[in-house]
Amino acid sequence: MKRSKGSGHAEAYQPQAFDIAREQFGMETALRRAIDRGHLRLNYQPIYDLASGRLVSFEALARWRDEAGAEFLPSDFIPVAEESGLIVPLGRWAIEEAVRRLAEWDARFGGDCGVKIAVNLSAIQLQRDSITPLLQSALTTHGLPGSRFTLELTESALVTDPDRIAGIMHGLKGLGTTIAMDDFGTGYSNLAYLQKLPIDILKIDRSFVTGMLADRDKVAIVRAILSLAQALGMQTTAEGVETNDLAQTLAALGCTYGQGFVYARPLEAEDAYALLENRRH
């Protein structure tokens, strides 16, 4: 343990490390149970076309409320899921749940409800599981085309075995899905992959977007990503759009889509569906 080196505090830190390990183990056990018992759910955050203001999709974001009623966010449990391997059943559940939900929305709407759902895929999940046949079978079960779904991958997926991930991405594209590179600008610095992989959308990480109006460096980075995407024929989504001014500026800069608290926080499925119904009127 680096911090305790030579400080005489080594003993003080060890029980703490032990507690953290035990807490993680407790969370792992609880998370496994939650997955088995169906205690996870997806919330849906709307994504808008910035030029027209049209609602185009929802990003599915996992939520977990434990038996005592405490609500956990992905930042609490996704790392635990990745370390323990639970990301595989969690990720399978998320894909099947998103497909089932969109089919339900279509049925209630009386036809194609006009939006896509975007599902997050973890790098570790992609290494350990075969996502393409799983998605294909969910699509067949519910009678939906792959073109109704976007898959969000992060650059970390490309680090370990880029050729294998490229194969998976081509397989997913073969189902008609859209592929988005999530948190773009925060990961891998070798941009060569952008030429080789079938990426449709760059999602600009919210660390560059939120607060960019007061920060010329952030504006420079956002502009650079937008022009890179345009040159490569890709679309862009800005995450973390928290104000109207920001939405207008991003639209003026040519960003395709926007997502953030100015429009809506991630919504319960029922509230997300209500947005679809409102749009009809």
CA 48 distance to own-chain centroid: 16
Q: Please answer whether residues 96 and 158 qualify as being in contact, where contact means their C-beta atoms are separated by less than 8 angstroms.
A: no
Question: Is there binding between residue 38 and ligand C2E (CB under 6 A)?
Answer: no
> Does 155 interact with ligand C2E (rule: CB under 6 A)?
no
| Segment lying near ligand C2E (by CB under 6 A), choices 15-23, 28-36, 172-180, 257-265 | 257-265
CB of 78 to ligand C2E, least distance (A): 5
Q: How far is the CB of 94 from Mg ion (least distance, A)?
A: 11
Binding piece for ligand C2E, criterion CB under 6 A, among 11-19, 31-39, 165-173, 260-268: 260-268
Say how far apart CA 115 and CA 103 lie, in whole Å: 11
Which positions from 126 to 165 touch Mg ion by CB under 5 A, shown as an x/- string? Answer: --------------------------x-------------
255 binding ligand C2E? (CB under 6 A): no
Report the residue from 242, 267, 269, 275 that binds ligand C2E according to the rule CB under 6 A: 242
Residue 116's φ and ψ, nearest 5 degrees, are -100, 160
User: DSSP string of 225-272?
Assistant: HHHHHHHTT-EEEE----SHHHHHHHHHHT--EE-STTT---B-HHHH
Binding of ligand C2E by 259 (CB under 6 A): yes
CA distance 71 to 280: 33
Widest CA span of the chain, in angstroms?
69
182 forms part of the interface with ligand C2E (CB under 6 A): yes
89: Cβ contacts below 8 Å, ≥ 6 apart: 35
Question: Which residues would be at the binding site for ligand C2E (CB under 6 A)?
Answer: 45, 61-62, 73-75, 78, 91, 94, 120-122, 152, 182-183, 206, 210, 239-242, 259-261, 266
